[in-house]
Amino acid sequence: MERKASDVNFHIGARVRTRRQALGLRRAELADRLGVTSQQLYNYERGESRITAGRLFELAGVLGVDLGWFFEGLDSGKAGGPRTSGNAPELAAYNPRVVEAAQALLRIEDNKVRNQLMKTILALGGDGTPVTDD
């Protein structure tokens, strides 16, 4: 089954939102840099408005990514929503809370505390990998 354009719009919009948040930009700031309204950027980020090739090129420059970055994680030719096979960049693209948690973790200045918290997160995640001290 073919992937619908709306699936691609959703994917790209989610990537835009995630990158904007990772850079610490408010929606209004990015919209201003692009010369669009905050509402239009909101529509892009939700996949409700299609982003033209020219606008995507501008976004890549402003967000500091390659054009191909917007399409990473798309499983071409297959229908459906986001793939969440455990790949962190894919999860982050669809869950802004992942980016928020990563940013909070990076703000912890004490390396021992940060490493202990990371061990706890990995243990709670239950991926079956033994957690050891680094």
What are the extents of the domains in the chain?
Answer: 1-81, 95-134
- Compute the C-alpha angle 87/115/19, nearest 5°: 40
Q: How confident is the model at residue 76 (pLDDT cuts 50, 70, 90)?
A: low
Average pLDDT over residues 83-97: 53
* Residue % of the chain over a pLDDT of 70: 72
Distance (Å, whole) CA 34 – CA 13: 15
Place of tokens 């050891």: 132
For 23-43, write each residue's pLDDT tens digit.
Answer: 889 999 999 999 999 999 999
Q: Is the pTM of this model over 0.75?
A: no
In CATH terms, is domain 1-81 a member of 3.40.930.10? Answer: no
Residue 66 has pLDDT above 50, yes or no: yes
Confidence of residue 57 (pLDDT cuts 50, 70, 90): very high
